Amino acid sequence: MAANLPTEHRALVLEALGEGFQVKKIPTPQPGLGNAIIRIESAGVLSYHREIYDGARGYNFPKPIVGGMSAIGRIAALGPDSVALKLGQLVYVDCVIHARDDPGALFLTAIHEGTTEGSKKLIRDVWRDGYFAEYAKAPLENCYPLDEARLCGTLGYTIHDLMYICYLLVPFGGLRDIRLEPGETVIICPATGGYGGAGVQVAIAMGARVIAFGRNEKELARLKEHVLRGTPNASIETVKMTGDEMTDAAALKAFGPVDAVIDFSPPQAAKSPHVKSAVWTLRRGGRVSMMGWNENPMVPTVLARNITLKGKLMYEREDIELFMKMLERGLFPRGKNFVHTKVFPLEDWKEGLDAGAEFLGIGKYVTLAP
């Protein structure tokens, strides 16, 4: 569908790892078969975006590249095979791209090239650039319509606050993957980080009882207060991690048998025994979703007790569709009880990425506004 796109637009371009971004004018992508061109309004920042682009994380992707992850924007132009999206419509643009003829070949836009030859080809040749830009090209199927009247009107969310979706979706993918049910008890660990905190918020909205397990007592107290302010009847407990496997298992067991565990350990927590402590509290047949980095095989705790342990990368399409319905129905808190978002212009990307690494935990988020 024709549109008045500018010939050039501003974008954050990374030429090489560790060199930092440059704000550059680059040619605006044009609509074609299977894609949409989005005018980006809010681009999400990860707690470890800085480490991805300075090379510390060791993630591979082609360069030069426009940085980013998921974003929210308005449809500015559409390929001729679009039948449902509308010009000007507000959409959530998801960063997980699957090959159309092999959904198993997937990668995370401007973050990681994935692990197959197909995913590496697609990020290199077709969907290279991310959404730290005024305009971006995305697959049609990655553009999820947002009910703007309901979300921004009736429920009062701002567009930047809605970017918190990209954090909430990840634990939602993991919790649905291990079939968390309303009324069940789930341990979330570590609960004090970006994804752990988002996991607490999602599990509460799913009707579960949450045991938030983490090292930082002050942040655990803030987390509980944040949850109870937004959802006064939520069932939420906190347990401080001491780092001793059986001491922590005993503290967690005080709340009775646990149905499920979800882990978001970053690389620096890979040697922490907290997942084993949490697994000891599971009832027979309990389920564990491993979404962070933790290499412990946990054989005695897992194998002998029929524990289902699943790895999970991000989420599936139906998870996103169901999540949007939960949000639109008002199952999440509003305003600051949902999220406090710090917004930075593209030019202040360095401050934005620094804030992303520091302003984290439940109900905190950072975005760039191109």
**Residue 242 and residue 248 in contact, taking contact as beta carbons nearer than 8 Å:** yes
Please identify, using beta-carbon distances, which residue of 68 and 194 lies nearer to ligand NAP: 194
Task: Tell me the C-alpha distance between 287 and 120, whole Å.
Answer: 32
- Residue written as token pair 């997937």: 106
- Size of residue set near ligand NAP by CB under 6 A: 27
Per CB under 6 A, the segment of 146-154, 158-166, 309-317, 339-347 that binds ligand NAP is 309-317
Does position 120 interact with ligand NAP (CB under 6 A)? The reply is no
Q: Least CB distance from residue 30 to ligand NAP, whole Å?
A: 31
**CB contact set of 120 (below 8 Å; sequence gap of 6+):** 107, 113, 114
Residue nearest to ligand NAP (CB): 193
Please identify, using beta-carbon distances, which residue of 264 and 332 lies nearer to ligand NAP: 264
**CB contact set of 316 (below 8 Å; sequence gap of 6+):** 173
Task: Tell me the C-alpha distance between 174 and 209, whole Å.
Answer: 16
Q: Per this entry, what is the length of the chain?
A: 370
**Residue 226 and residue 337 in contact, taking contact as beta carbons nearer than 8 Å:** yes
Please identify, using beta-carbon distances, which residue of 254 and 293 lies nearer to ligand NAP: 293
Contacts of ligand NAP in 30-49 (CB under 6 A): 47-48
Per CB under 6 A, the segment of 64-72, 87-95, 208-216, 332-340 that binds ligand NAP is 208-216
Contacts of ligand NAP in 289-308 (CB under 6 A): 291-293
Q: Least CB distance from residue 319 to ligand NAP, whole Å?
A: 11
Does position 312 interact with ligand NAP (CB under 6 A)? The reply is yes
Per CB under 6 A, the segment of 28-36, 59-67, 71-79, 269-277 that binds ligand NAP is 269-277
Task: Tell me the C-alpha distance between 252 and 247, whole Å.
Answer: 9
- Adjacent-strand bridge partners of 74: 39, 90
Does position 242 interact with ligand NAP (CB under 6 A)? The reply is no
Quickly count: other Cβ atoms within 10 Å of residue 292's Cβ: 20
Residue among 268, 284, 299, 304 that touches ligand NAP (CB under 6 A): 268
Per CB under 6 A, the segment of 115-123, 209-217, 223-231, 343-351 that binds ligand NAP is 209-217
Q: Comparing C-alpha atoms, which of 5, 312, 316, 313 is closest to residue 141? A: 316
Helix ranges restricted to H, 47-141: 49-53, 117-125
Residue among 123, 227, 269, 327 that touches ligand NAP (CB under 6 A): 269
Q: Beta 8-14 vs 209-214: how paired, if at all? A: unpaired
Does position 272 interact with ligand NAP (CB under 6 A)? The reply is yes
Torsion of CA 200, 340, 14, 58, to 10 degrees: -20
Contacts of ligand NAP in 165-204 (CB under 6 A): 170, 190, 192-196
Does position 339 interact with ligand NAP (CB under 6 A)? The reply is no
CA angle 18, 350, 214 (to 5 degrees): 90
Does position 60 interact with ligand NAP (CB under 6 A)? The reply is no
Interface contacts to ligand NAP, rule CB under 6 A: 47-48, 170, 190, 192-196, 214-216, 219, 264, 266-269, 272, 274, 291-293, 312-314, 360
